[in-house]
Copies of this chain bind each other. A is one copy, B any other.
Amino acid sequence: MSTGAAHQIPGEIVPASRLVGKVSALMKAEPGDFRTSQVDLLDVRFEGIVGDEHSGLTRKSGGREPWYPRGTEMRNERQLSIVCADELSGIAEDLAIDRLEATWIGANIILEGFANLSMLPPRSLLFFDGGLVLKIDGQNAPCRVAGGAIAAHFPDRDADQLALDFVKAAKRRRGLVAWVEKPGSIAQGAGVKAHLPEQWIYR
């Protein structure tokens, strides 16, 4: 006897309303250095994390925007960098290094509970316990500067090669960049709920 279930897509379909996770670490960058250090709490305003290197309603363009003269003032859609441990472990494995610390590559938030965090689409919202809401701009394209910061921790390896390999290995696994939709504070351990844009929700 045929049942509707036979026509279902194999595997569990997780409704967007059940995409929930947790903050496993928070980090902040001092002005002048993109690398971050762990903190217990982040105070986040419309400008971004208070006192962070990447704070600002606008920023200067760089190599990611080859269509602008370097240093052009543009809206800052890269206020926060968000990563997940599973993706960083996968990159480390492919690079044959024993670990890849989120602080080395300037992450501000490590989230747990989201499989393939980097695949959350642009326009997704992240609601944090305590009221902060971030809007996902999109995947953070891995660059050689971050790759070089990783290489600095593995002096036995060819630094240029490792930096270059990072760019390839980290594609679609280097997490997301986001900007502040609604200010708030977040503490380590806070719950997070993701809201996918209507256009991409499976019904």
Contacts and interface: CB of A to CB of B under 8 A. Distances in A.
Interface string A66-94: 01100011110100000000000000000
B75 A138 contact: no
B139 A75 contact: no
A75 B101 CA distance: 31
Contacts of A157: none
Contacts of A15: none
Contacts of A123: 122-123, 137-138
A141 interface: yes
A87 B77 CA distance: 29
B198 A141 contact: yes
A180 interface: yes
Contacts of A73: 182
Contacts of A197: 122, 138
A135 interface: yes
A180 B68 CA distance: 15
A40 B181 CA distance: 32
A104 interface: no
Contacts of A2: none
A127 B67 contact: yes
Interface of A: 46, 57-58, 67-68, 72-75, 77, 121-123, 127, 133, 135, 137-139, 141, 172, 179-182, 195, 197-199
